[in-house]
Amino acid sequence: MEFLREDLSHLFDDQGIDPTAYEDVVDFRDPITRYNSLSGYLFNIAFLRKAFDPLFILHDIKVDEQIDNAITTRWTMSMRFTPAGSLPTKKYWDPTITFTGTSTYVFNPASGKIFRHIDTWDSISNQEFFSVEGFADFFKQLLSFYSTPTLETPEYTVLRRARDYEVRRYQPYVVAATDMEVAGALNREVLRSGQVSVNPAGAGNKAFNTLARYIFGDNQARAKMAMTTPVFSDTAGSMRFVIGQTTLKALPSLPQPNSSAVSLEQVEGGVFAARVFGGYAKEADAAREAEALKAALARDGRKTAGGGVWTLARYNDPSTPAPFRRNEVLLPLEGYELWK
């Protein structure tokens, strides 16, 4: 296990994995790839590195309780399709393909070397090689046209990518927040409790302009701050601009708002489920996607937190055409377990 922790940290770097840890005949399988030799196994790694600029994150590792002499890992791999980055269509088509899942390594007890490596993906049901479902999932991501601006955004790690949502762990970040006009005279504490809610895609132009004035200089330091993404709004009637990955201790050093309607707050991060959708994120769209996310989480036995409050994230400026827009609905999760 300690060897694999170290070796997998070099999976896609110049050092690479240690080939002496593998038998010459290695049975490698995932839903869309199969090799039966060490040379084929190494070729697959080299191909992914050249074509997709992959990032591999090892979350955990344990002894497999079902298979003798086996170790299973849980991981996330994100792959940016390298050729797209040099095309004039980069603004609207620069896809990142993400899989999460498990790898089971089976060792030959006589030699201590790996002779079998089997991958499973969380996003599909049919895990057998040449899975039509697996190929469809791959090409769906490859041909995705959701665009994400190259602006500062909250940092997160994808822990699990299911077929219709992601589970993410967010790092803490700071926001400038104000009330949306759609909240009207409703009591904020009642809204936060989830007993009454507003649609976060509702009227919010006044709140947006209030926050925009703050970051563009309507603050006590007259400082102009860089644009960030996304713009968050939630069913508790709050709109938030991301200020950055600033810590709570650094909050007093940030430019203080001139308007009493703007507050600086630290969002503690945590584990959230997110569902991505395109278009202009109208009220009906946001509500529909939120219900779809809730249904998917119930299907998978995942418990939500936060009293039912959900958040809408909008990433693009108004000039971005509808087919290329990225929006998300997010729900906090309670008691998420990595292996379940």
Q: What is the mean pLDDT of residues 29-42?
A: 97
In single-letter form, the type of residue at position 60 comes to: D
pLDDT at 78 over 90: yes
Share of the chain above pLDDT 70, in %: 94
pLDDT per residue over 246-262, tens digit each?
666 678 889 999 999 99
Mean pLDDT of 51-79: 97
The confidence score (pLDDT) of residue 250 equals: 75
pLDDT band at 193 (very low <50, low <70, confident <90, very high): low
> What is the pairing mode between strands 238-244 and 263-267?
unpaired
Average pLDDT estimate for 68-97: 95
pLDDT at residue number 286: 97
Q: Work out the average pLDDT over 125-154.
A: 96
On the question of pLDDT at 188 being above 80, the answer is no
| Domain residue spans of the chain | 1-145, 166-332
Report the CATH fold assignment for 1-145: Nuclear Transport Factor 2; Chain: A, (3.10.450)
CA dist., res. 240 & res. 252, Å (int):
18
**DSSP character string of 275-294:** EEE-S---HHHHHHHHHHHH
pLDDT at residue 189 tops 70: no
* Mean pLDDT across 47-63: 96
Question: Per-residue pLDDT averaged across 25-54, rounded?
Answer: 96
Average pLDDT of 290-309? 96
166-332 belongs to which homologous superfamily?
Regulatory factor, effector binding domain (3.20.80.10)
Question: In the prediction, which pLDDT does 191 show?
Answer: 55
Average pLDDT along the chain: 94
Pairing of the two strands 238-244 and 173-179: antiparallel
In the chain, % of residues over pLDDT 90: 90
Compute the average pLDDT of residues 40-58. 96
Provide the phi-psi class of 335: left if phi over 0, else alpha when psi is between -120 and 50, else beta.
Answer: left
Q: Are 1-145 and 166-332 equal in CATH topology?
A: no
CA–CA separation, 331 and 195 (whole Å): 16
Q: Is the pLDDT at 81 greater than 60, yes or no?
A: yes
Q: In the structure, what pLDDT confidence band is assigned to residue 197 with cuts at 50, 70 and 90?
A: confident
What average pLDDT does range 216-232 have in this prediction? 96
pLDDT value at 270 more than 70: yes
> 195 versus 219: which is more confidently predicted?
219
What average pLDDT does this structure show over 214-228?
A: 96
pLDDT over 60 (residue 186): no
pLDDT, residue 252, reads 83
Most confident of 163-167, 198-202, 249-253: 163-167
What is the tens place of the pLDDT at every residue in 304-319? 998 899 999 999 999 9
Mean pLDDT of 113-128: 98
Return the residue matching tokens 């994120």: 281
Q: Which whole number is the average pLDDT over 200-216? A: 95
* Position 131 confidence tier, pLDDT thresholds 50, 70, 90: very high
Report the alpha-carbon distance of residue 246 to residue 266 in Å, rounded: 8
Q: For 248-280, b where at least 16 C-beta lie within 10 A, e where not — what string?
A: eeeeeebbebeeeebebebbebbbbbbbbbbee
